[in-house]
Amino acid sequence: MDRQLFETDHLAFRDSVRTFIERHVAKDYERWEAEGMVDRLLWNRAGDGGLLGTSVPEEHGGGGVRDFRFNAVLVEEFATANMLSLSSGFGLHNDVVAPYLVDLGTPEQHARWLPGFCSGDLVTAIAMTEPDAGSDLKGVRTTARRDGDSYVVNGTKTFITNGIHAGLVIVVAKTDPQAGARGMSLLVVERGMPGFERGRRLSKAGMHAQDTAELVFDNVRVPVENLLGRENGAFGHLMNNLPQERLSIAVVAGAAARAALDWT
């Protein structure tokens, strides 16, 4: 069926993604699947190819176009090529994390994080799921206690996409444990902060090249400047942004199913 959804710019972008896969992915993908992780350099190549941050303003190195169809093209092409590990990793970066940084970030945060986000120098993740809390987000136990000009973060997250490579992790934490869903905040934890450690890289039934990890926060001091959005406002921020993540999952599933039918 000929779809009418995409316009000339989207078709040109699709050609760019296909070329990127042929040049930088196809020959190494089986090795990455065996090793359980893509080469870190691939993220920089994706940035150079314009695959990252299409919705980020141009002044910070992005494409400057707030159009989910570009995100859909990207993940569709990786799914069609039977490279779901990359549709997940790049999709998480573009579809899930970007709206939080662009919509909730301050000008200072934009200047600090968005250029690296678009170049691939900064791989991102979002840490919601915990060993005892998944879809029930108000049940998270990770805490962030205010102490002067910092939050002290303690807790464990699991099943975190891009967890090993990530240099920036948006962490969902309880800043007011007595307030339930209205007591959570989003804090940006950066690689190198003392007490922030990677746990196991998790084995999975599929998407082996997608690094999925446990993250551990042991008295990590996060400066108040790394608060994203409103203090105690995380639940509302999450509810605003999670629908796009779910839509992206549906796009990947549809593309993978179509490809499987074509292969058979």
DSSP 8-class letter at 44: H
Q: Please identify every residue annotated as catalytic.
A: 245
Q: Output the CA torsion 72→78→81→85 (10° steps).
A: -140
Tell me the C-alpha distance between 137 and 132, whole Å.
10
Rounded Cα distance, 122 and 106, in Å = 18
Task: Give every CB contact of residue 223 below 8 A, 6+ residues apart in sequence.
Answer: 149, 150
Burial 108-139 (b: 16+ CB within 10 A, else e): ebbebbbbbbbbbebbbbbbbbbeebeeebee
